[in-house]
Structure 1
Amino acid sequence: MPDPLPTHAGPFALGTFSSGTDAFPGLVTGARVRDLSDQVPSVRALFDDWDTRLPRLHELAASADGTWHELAGLRVLAPVEPGQILQSGANYRKHVVDLVAAEKESVHGATPEEARADAEKMMDERIRSGVPYVFLGSPRAMCGPYDDIVLPELGEQHDWELELALVIGKSGRNVPAEEAMSHVAAYTICNDLTTRDRLYRPDLKAIGTDWFTAKNADTFLPTGPFLVPADFVGDPNDLRITLRHNGVVRQDESTKDMIFDIPRLIAYVSTTTTLRPGDLLLTGSPAGNGAHWGVFLKAGDVVEAEITGLGHQRNTVRSQA
């Protein structure tokens, strides 16, 4: 466990922990964790009846009853096992403008000023009339917030993508944007890693991107440390996202820069899939990925990440044994 202990907004947070071989759902208050096994079998089960569970969690946080542990003595696991993971791509304006402008310069010969002006015009139009880009991720890519990131044998351009993620607390299909926030139970941190040089299949160019291979290696989705109830987080469109690679700040942006905000993301994905309690929705990553800096992950690197009020992650990178 890193020092100091991770902090969170509000009087408590939720997570999954281990004091040995068995994992248990826990309620975190400061430096202590109450075992919730006497209440639910898993953290995900809390969201099946979130509106009823939340007041009870307030009561438990204020009570000395139950089994309590010192957080420093526990292993912090990924906080929830989601039903599905929905991932939003190309959802930060500055990030996408940088990518489009770079292509216009290198491929089309535009000047830097022309390229950026054209890219910004494209993004403004996308905000007005476009729709999000969303794909599915594998829950088996998840690992804990302090676990090692294990680089797969294939590929060399292993990249970081820090993201704000939300947990669904109420089922819904075709959810109107104006009602979407009532479906959000909690928030957490996800680092959605990507192997850039495995993203496109040279043998199947017509099919396009290979998200499964590029993004779903084991340990490629460090998640947590906690789930912080939405009531404690404040405005999710005004949170700071910061990632450091070997101590160097690489990503540092506000969620205000999202192209499609959380209500629009929820409304969009729910036109295709029924959202269920415990589903995880990642909202995209801001500018500052390794591809931007020309720096990629290698064994021995340390990645540190934080989002306002949600705690922090610290992952060491290693090669497969």
Structure 2
Amino acid sequence: MPLTPFLARYGVPGGMNAVLGLLPVLGGALADWARTAPSHPLEGMRLGPPVTRPRSIVAVGANTRSHVAEASRHTGGHTAKRPMLITKAVSALCGPHDPIVRPADTRKLDYETELAVVIGSAASHVSADEAMGHVAGFMACSDVTARDIQTGEDEDADFYWQHFRSKSYETFLPTGPWLLTADEVPDLAKITLRTYVNDELRQDSDLSDLVFDL
């Protein structure tokens, strides 16, 4: 079920993090509430990120075949043998409709619509079959990057890439507006990611394009 309206209407001490921890207990009650609760108008309200204080934010870089092909100057068209993990600062989070603020030191602001996987319970060294049992839900997000900062265009050598800095400016991770619990997404293969800029379709892909699947 979408959890954002629940939080907006009733408020929960500890916010979304507390709800995620209680999902195994509250799942049925929340589903009943979703079927019977009156609608809550969101017009005129600012929606923040559904998950406000995650422990960490980890992205998998170059994880679509189309992106690998697009960046062939660097990749040679070869996909990675292991997931390339990149972190972003938690302070980059913002709401789905918040303005993205361009830092003064970048001229190449870029965007990528991504599927955010929200981990609901701690796990370590679990099998692929067990891993999805620790997933609380999914969100849409945009991974904003200052590309000229990332690739070190002002450096004298091409070795000095700045993944963390280029992706961690404030407002560089809009998420939401909804967090869909895992039971709402029984078939991940049907998820399509689209990006429009001024009503022009710029990105249209699905999870079959992933190099390393979920």
**Structure 1 length-normalised TM:** 0.61
Task: Report Cα offsets for 1:9-33 as digits up to 9, x if no partner.
Answer: xxx3012xxxxxxxxxx428xxxx5
List aligned pairs for 1:310-321, cutoff 5 A: none
Tell me the distance in 2 between the aligned counterparts of 1:246 and 1:154. Answer: 24
- Structure 1's consecutive aligned runs of 4 or more residues displaced over 4 angstroms after TM superposition are 202-207
CA distance in 2, matches of 1:198, 1:162: 20
Q: What are the superposed Cα offsets for residues 59-83 of structure 1, whole Å, 9 maximum, x if unpaired?
A: 3324449xx7322242211111211
Identity value in percent = 33
Q: 1:83 aligns with which of 55, 58, 61?
A: 55
> What is the alpha-carbon distance in structure 1 between the residues aligned to residue 158 and residue 66 of structure 2?
28
Alpha-carbon distance in 2 for matches of 1:260, 1:64: 39
Shift of 1:241: 0.7
2:6 aligns to what SS in structure 1?
strand
Q: Does 1:35 align with 2:14?
A: no
Structure 1: segments with no counterpart, 5+ residues? 1-11, 16-25, 105-117, 263-321
- Quick one: which amino acid aligns to residue 256 of structure 1? S
After TM superposition, list the pairs within 5 Å mapping 1:20-169 onto structure 2: 26-27=5-6, 34-37=9-12, 40-64=13-37, 69-81=40-52, 82-100=54-72, 102=73, 119=77, 122-123=78-79, 126=80, 130-169=81-120
The 1-side partners of 2:9 and 2:106 are apart by 42
Normalization by structure 2: what TM-score?
Answer: 0.89
- Mapped contact 1:35–1:69 kept (Cα < 8 A): no
Inter-CA distance 222–64: structure 2 relative to 1 (3 Å threshold): closer
Cα distance in structure 2, aligned partners of 1:136 and 1:177? 22
Question: Distance in 2 between the 1:64 and 1:155 partners?
Answer: 46
Partner SS, residue 163 of structure 1: strand
**Alpha-carbon distance in 2 for matches of 1:57, 1:205:** 54
Contact 2:86 2:164 (C-alpha < 8 Å) held by counterparts:
no
RMSD: 2.3
Which of 126, 129, 132 pairs up with 1:175?
Answer: 126
Of 136, 139, 149, 1:198 maps to 149
Higher strand share: 1
Residues 278-297 of structure 1 mapped to structure 2, 5 A cutoff: none
Larger Cα-atom Rg: 1
Aligned residues of 1:239 and 1:256 also touching (Cα < 8 A): no
- How many residue pairs match? The answer is 212
